[in-house]
Chains A and B, each alone.
Chain A
Amino acid sequence: QVQLQESGPGLVKPSETLSLTCTVSGYSISSGYYWGWIRQPPGKGLEWIGSIYHSGSTYYNPSLKSRVTISVDTSKNQFSLKLSSVTAADTAVYYCASFLYYDSSGYYKNWGQGTLVTVSS
């Protein structure tokens, strides 16, 4: 059973960089799947941030691309998210998830519990 757990600071100051890590258990990141980050502002819907394959290939939401970096550490079975120059609009629950990719499409099969990140001074 694939399990995911987000970790990182719950409070980030405006203009600084948000950094989160997702630890995967029950499955080796190197075995396959893509891995993604999705966020949900309070009271709002889901927004795809980006995805990464274990080889390091990345795909980002065009609206966030200039500020996002997703990386993978197969030795720790983790992948990470960095979002720079944050503002209050980046306040959200951030989820990591496994992404089953096929035919240029795919779905998020397993989700972490989510972590709330608040951007405030």
Chain B
Amino acid sequence: QSVLTQPPSVSGAPGQRVTISCTGSSSNIGAGYDVHWYQQLPGTAPKLLIYGNSNRPSGVPDRFSGSKSGTSASLAISGLQAEDEADYYCQSYDSSLSGSVFGGGTKLTVL
């Protein structure tokens, strides 16, 4: 049971827009801690996708965007491409655990 809750899977056709939610609580996202997102392509290490709720590292396409509100955060991917098929994880800080917490991950399938 992950501290941050994500849907196990989402899907969309090429060119469409999908969103992945990440729900936390008052000890993590709701306490104001930032949310970060990672993309894990099959068989590879996770890669930082979004940091500080909505910032993209250099090299990440602007098709990827993040937002946060209350105790939840969202990752949006527009103009879906086949190479976006991957697992996506959210991460934040939890004051009760005094450390990093991850969501359970969401598998994105491009139809």
Chain A residues with a Cβ under 8 A of chain B: 36, 38, 45-48, 50-51, 59-62, 95, 99-100, 103-114
Contacts and interface: CB of A to CB of B under 8 A. Distances in A.
B34 A48 contact: no
Of the candidates A45, A59, A105, the one having the most CB atoms from chain B within 10 angstroms of its own CB is: A105
7 contacts: A46-B46, A51-B99, A59-B98, A105-B34, A106-B100, A108-B38, A113-B44
Interface of B: 2, 33-34, 36, 38, 44-48, 51-52, 57, 89, 91-93, 95, 97-105
| Dominant SS among interface residues on chain A | strand
Contacts, number: 68
A85 to B, nearest CB: 21
Given A48-B100, A60-B99, A104 B47 contact: no
Chain A CB within 10 A, most for which of B52, B92, B95: B52
